[in-house]
Chains A and B, each alone.
Chain A
Amino acid sequence: MPFVEVAHLVKHFVRGAGLFRAGTRLAAVDDVSFSIEEGETFGLVGESGSGKTTTGRCMLRLVEPTSGDVRFRGANVLEFSKRRLREARRQMQIVFQDPYSSLNPRMRARQIVEEPLLIHKLGDRTTRRTRVAELVELVGLNPAHLDRFPHEFSGGQRQRIGLARALALNPSFVILDEPVSALDVSVQAQVVNLLMDLQQQLKLTYLFIAHDLRLVQHICGRVAVMYLGKIVELGPAAAIFAAPQHPYTRALLSAIPVPDPDAPRHRVVLDPSSVNRGAALKEVAAGHWAAI
C-alpha cells in the first residue's frame, strides 16, 4: 500500500459564469494519478498553469477536488467528514511559497508556531511552551526572537517559522509548495539543507512542488512533470533528467539556464502540435512513465 496515493484526481474551475451564462469549464487538474512512498521526496514540476499547486491543495482539501481519490495510508481523504479531516490534517501539512503573506502579521512568532497546538487542543500551557521551544530549535531560529512579529524577520527566517508551524503537530507528510522560490538566492540553500535535515531526522515524506528543476533534480527521488493539467512524464529523477521522453519535458529541461558560459546549449522548442494530449502514460523503462 503506497503511503499517499492520488488516483484520477480532477479539478474543474468554471470561468466567466453569470446568471444566464454557463461559463467555460477549465480542467486545472485533469485525471492525475501518482503515488508517494513513505520517506521519499516526490517532486511535482511544471510551469504556471500546469496544475501542480492545485493538485497539492486538492490533496489536503484546501481546494475541493471535482472527482478522484486521495488515499493517505489507505484511507480516502476525500470521503472524510470534517472532523475526520481535521484529525487527518495533523498528519498532513503544507508549507507555502511566500513567507511574506502566509504568516499572520499581527501574531508574534511564538503564537504562529503555537497556534496549531491550540486549534487541536494539544497539551497545556507548559507543554505547549516546551514544544514551541523544541520546534524553534529544530528549524534553527533564535529562541530569543520568539516575541517578534513576522516583519522583523528576514525571508529565510520567516520560512523557518512557517516550517516550525507545519511541524508543530508532528506530521508524517508535508507538502512543500515552492518553499524557497520567494527567498533570496543566497539563503535558498540554507532552507533546502534544513528541509533535507528535517526529513532525515523526523522521517518525513515530502511532496515537493517546484518550478526550479535544478533543485528538484537535487532533492527529489522521483518526479512527475505536469503540463496543462496532466502528468506527461513520471519516474526516477535521475532517469528523467538523463533521458526525458516527453517532448514537453525535453523542452523544459533544455530551457534551464546553466551557470557556465561554455556549457553546450541545445534548445528544444516545444511544438504544441507534437503533444498527443490523449496519450496515456506508458512505461518506457522500469518505473519511468511517459504519455507519448
Chain B
Amino acid sequence: MSDADEPLLRVEHLTTVFDLPGGPVPAVDDVSFEIRAGETLGLVGESGSGKSVTAVSIMRLVQPPGRIAGGRLLFKGRDLLTLDERAMRGVRGADISLIFQEPMTALNPVFTIGDQIAEALRVHGRASRSEASAKAVELLEAVQIPDAASRVRDYPHQLSGGMRQRVLIAIALACRPALVMADEPTTALDVTIQAQILDLLRDMKSQFHLSLLLITHDLGVIAETADRVAVMYAGRIVETGPVRAILQDPLHPYTRGLLASIPGGAPGRRLKAIEGSVPSLGALPPGCAFAPRCPDRFEPCATQPPPDVAVGPDHQTRCYLYDRVPLKSDARPTDAVR
C-alpha cells in the first residue's frame, strides 16, 4: 500500500450514530472522502451537519451515546477502526492531531503553555524532560509567538484568544503529524486575528509538509485555504470537488443556495435565502435530506436518497438533478432536468 497515488487518509462509508432514547440518530451517515498528501480539504457545513463528529470519529474519540457504526478509516493504508485503544493512542497527536474550536477551553488553565507542549512531546516519547522545554520554545517560535523564550512560562489566561490558538497549533504540530484536523479554528476569533491564524496554518502546512482537514461553516475561509472541498448537510456529504469548482460553479442546490445567500451585490437588495430550516437529525426525510428546502426538488427526491454522481473532474454530488449526466465538466441542472 505504498502506492504514491494512495491518499493519506481515505474515509469510506463512515457512519457514526448516537443512541438516543428515541432511537439511533445518524450524525454521520455513509460519509466517504479522501485527503491526499500535502492538500487542504475544507469540510463545510452548518451546526449539526456532522462535520465535527466526522473529525472526532477519525480520531476515534466519539463518546457514548455516540458510536462508530460502520465504515473504514484508511490512514496510510491501515484501517484505524481495527486498531486497539493502545495503538490508537499512538496515532493520536503523533500521526493525526485535532485542533479544537475553542481556544479558551482547550488548554488546561493550571499548567504553563510550555508544560502543555512538552507533555505532547513526552507522551509520544519524542523528547526527554530536558529536551522538551527547549523544543517547546522552538515550536512557539514556529507559530510566531513573539518572545517565545519567556512566553513559554505563561499560563493560558495570560494570552489573548489568537495567541491561545497559536499555542494549540503548536501542540498539534509538536509530534510532526502527517495530518492535522482543525475544527472551526477561527470561529471564536475576531476577523483580523482570524486572518493571521489562517495565514499561519498555511505557512505551517508547507513548513511541516502537512495535510490539513479544515472544518468551517465559512465559505470565505474555504476560499482562502482549501484545495478541495466537501460540503456536508444533515450528516451526509452532498458535494465534493476542487475549491474552484465548488465556489465558482457549485452544482448541488444546497451549495448553490449557501453561496447565493452570502451578502453581496447591490446594497439593500433582498438576499437569496434558502427557505426553511436545518432538519433535526432524528427526523430526516426518507429521501434527500435537503429535499424539503430544495427549490429544484422533483419526483424521486422525497422518497429515495440520491446516489453519488460524478459531475466533473474530481467533482461529485449527491443529487438527482445530475443522475443521468455523463461525466463531463460543463454539466448543468437544466441539461439534466429538461
- Asked whether A255 lies within 8 Å of B271 as measured between CB atoms, the reply is no
By beta carbon, the residue of chain A nearest B254 is: A186
Contacts A47-B190, A47-B191 given; does A186 touch B248 at CB 8 Å: no
Name the segment of A4-12, A108-116, A260-268, A279-287 touching the other chain. Answer: A260-268
A47 to B275 CA separation, bound complex (whole angstroms): 30
- Give the distance to chain B from A221, nearest Cβ to Cβ, in Å: 8
Contact of A215 among B220, B263, B268 (CB under 8 A): B263
Given contacts A218-B263, A218-B271, A252-B192, contact A184 B47 (CB under 8 A): yes
Q: How far is the CB of B78 from chain A (nearest CB, A)?
A: 33
Interface size class of B (residues with CB under 8 A): 35 or more
**Across-interface contacts of A213 in B (CB, < 8 A):** 191
B217: chain A residues within 8 A (beta carbon): 185
By the criterion CB–CB under 8 Å, are B263 and A214 in contact?
yes
A237 to B267, CA, bound (A): 9
| A157 lies within 8 A of chain B by Cβ | yes
Interface residues of A in 143-164 (CB under 8 A from B): 154-157
A193 touches B273 (CB 8 A): yes
Q: Is A211 an interface residue (CB 8 A)?
A: yes
Q: Does B127 contact A (CB under 8 A)?
A: no
CA distance A193 to B270 in the complex (A): 5
Name B258's contact: one of A185, A251, A255 (CB within 8 Å).
A185
Name the interface residues of A131-149: CB closer than 8 Å to any CB of B.
none
B278 touches A187 (CB 8 A): yes
B198 at interface, CB cutoff 8 A: yes
Q: Which residues of B contact A219 (CB under 8 A)?
A: 263, 267-268
Q: Given that A47-B191, A48-B190, A186-B46 are known contacts, is A217 also in contact with B267, CB under 8 Å in the complex?
A: yes
A76 within 8 A of B: no
B275 touches A190 (CB 8 A): yes
Nearest residue in B to A253 (C-beta to C-beta)? B191
Is B215 an interface position by the 8 A CB rule?
Answer: no
Q: How far is the CA of A157 from the CA of B277 in the complex (A)?
A: 9
Find chain B residues with CB under 8 A from A218 CB. Answer: 263-265, 267-269, 271
Q: Is the CB of A260 within 8 A of B223?
A: yes
Tell me if A88 is interfacial: C-beta within 8 Å of chain B. no
Taking a contact as CB atoms under 8 Å apart, the answer to whether A186 and B263 are in contact is no
A-chain residues with CB within 8 Å of residue B273 when the two chains form the complex: 187, 189-190, 192-193
Asked whether, in the complex, the Cβ of B244 is within 8 Å of the Cβ of A257, the reply is: no
> In the bound complex, how far is the Cα of B260 from the Cα of A189, in angstroms?
9
Residues of A close to B195: CB separation below 8 A:
254-255, 257, 267
- By beta carbon, the residue of chain A nearest B44 is A185
A256's partner among B196, B220, B267, B270 (CB-CB below 8 A) is B220
- State in angstroms the CA–CA spacing of A252 and B191 once bound together: 7
Neighbouring B residues of A192 by C-beta, 8 Å: 263, 271, 273
Decide yes or no: A258 and B267 within 8 Å by CB, A185-B258, A190-B275, A211-B190 being known contacts. no
C-alpha gap A261/B247 in the complex (Å): 8
Does the CB pair A261–B191 fall under 8 Å? no
Give the residues in chain A near B32, CB-CB below 8 Å.
none
Report A228 CB to chain B, min CB distance, Å.
12
Nearest CB in chain A to that of B274: its residue: A186
On chain B, the residues within 8 Å of A259 by CB distance are 219-220, 222-223, 247, 259, 262
**In the complex the two chains form, what is the Cα distance from A253 to B195 in whole Å?**
11
Does B224 lie within 8 Å of A265, measured CB to CB? yes
The 0/1 profile, CB within 8 Å of B marked 1, for residues 232-275 of chain A is: 00000110000000000001101111111111010101100000
Contact A186 B224 (CB under 8 A): no
Instruction: List the A residue with the shortest CB-CB distance to B266.
Output: A218
A196 on the B face (CB < 8 A): yes
Task: State whether A262 touches B244 (Cβ < 8 A).
Answer: yes
Residue of A nearest to B227 (CB): A261
Does residue A91 face the partner (Cβ distance < 8 Å to B)?
Answer: no
Flag if A184 contacts B278 (CB, 8 Å): yes
Contact residues in B for A184 (Cβ distance below 8 Å): 46-48, 277-278
Docked complex Cα distance between A214 and B267 (Å)? 10
List 9 A-B pairs, Cβ < 8 Å: A154-B277, A185-B218, A192-B273, A211-B190, A219-B263, A219-B267, A257-B218, A257-B223, A258-B220
Given contacts A215-B263, A217-B263, A262-B244, 6 further A-B contacts (CB under 8 A): A185-B261, A189-B273, A211-B191, A218-B269, A261-B224, A263-B223
